[in-house]
Homo-oligomer: A and B are copies of this chain.
């Protein structure tokens, strides 16, 4: 598959932007500006980027509690996302949803979710809807290795398969569900994809820290969904570089060693892509610097936006319960 420079640039831009967004959120959380639960996507940027860049603008995604990367890669606005994390009226949900419920319906971002596996039904239903409306839209359903143990996953696999729905199940296997290791909670003599294969879905297992690999798997799945051939499954193997959420630092040493973490830091996707782009002379240092500068400006603007956006007035509480 030919990947042009423009696309590589975009990939780098998105990965780097997600990384920097998360670092900014982390920083603001420590300062108390970000409120509520915060699950960082650091280390997993290649997955959201590779998948979302394979989608059309009007395609849908469903996301998770660790969802900033998905939203940003699908074109979401860092200003409104950051404001949401900080509980401001300028946020995507006017501060009512926070990190775990950020959504941009106008961009097909059907929402993060606080329930592990909560997006399976929504994604599959959106695919049914797309098929019924003959819109040609495709749905990418992001979920974690932990979520793969929710029974709902298998229920929707069956329905997506029998009705040939245009949905792609993207399992982000980052090694952990909270503080329990993937290998402890999940059968491992078969990959997670075996579950999808049991329903006849084409499955792929890719290096989730390799954005190109993710992208290529996604493109194939999208094409087949768009062509009416039904659902696919992708497992992206990656690694969670931060804690489960901000504020659980006390747990850090309980579930992994420093050495393990350091080993994985060497493989982290943004730096790795950066090095590769330079090595392969696909982007120049100058181009990269320009992208990074653009990102810093965006994030600066986002912080300013947050600062200018007030916390909602208590009178808003009873709004938006019913449409």
Contact = CB atoms under 8 A, between A and B. Distances in A.
A198 B158 CA distance: 14
A197 B194 contact: yes
Q: Please provide the 3 A-B residue pairs with the shortest distance between their CB atoms, ordered closest to farther.
A: A151-B151, A194-B198, A154-B154
A190 B198 contact: yes
Interface of A: 149-155, 158, 161-162, 184-187, 189-190, 194-195, 197-200
Contacts of A150: 151, 155
Contact of A185 (B162, B186, B189): B162
Contacts of A161: 187
Given A187-B198, A195-B195, 10 more contacts: A149-B155, A151-B152, A151-B154, A153-B154, A154-B195, A162-B184, A162-B185, A162-B186, A187-B199, A190-B197
Contacts of A186: 158, 162
Nearest to A191: B198
A184 B163 CA distance: 10
Please tell me how many copies of the chain the complex holds: 2
Contacts of A199: 187, 190, 194-195
Nearest to A149: B158
12 contacts: A149-B158, A150-B155, A151-B151, A158-B186, A158-B187, A187-B198, A187-B199, A187-B200, A190-B198, A190-B199, A194-B198, A194-B199
A213 to B, nearest CB: 23
A295 to B, nearest CB: 40
Nearest to A159: B149
Contacts of A200: 187, 189-190
A150 B153 CA distance: 10
A232 B151 CA distance: 19
A181 to B, nearest CB: 12
A189 B161 CA distance: 10
Most buried by B among A154, A162, A194, A197: A154
A313 to B, nearest CB: 42
Nearest to A155: B151
A203 to B, nearest CB: 10
Contacts of A197: 190, 194, 198
A86 to B, nearest CB: 36
A290 to B, nearest CB: 47
Contacts of A194: 197-199
A53 to B, nearest CB: 30
A189 to B, nearest CB: 5
A115 to B, nearest CB: 14
Contacts of A185: 162
A315 B44 CA distance: 63
A128 to B, nearest CB: 15
A235 B61 CA distance: 36
Contacts of A158: 149, 186-187
Contacts of A152: 151
A153 B155 CA distance: 10
A214 B94 CA distance: 60
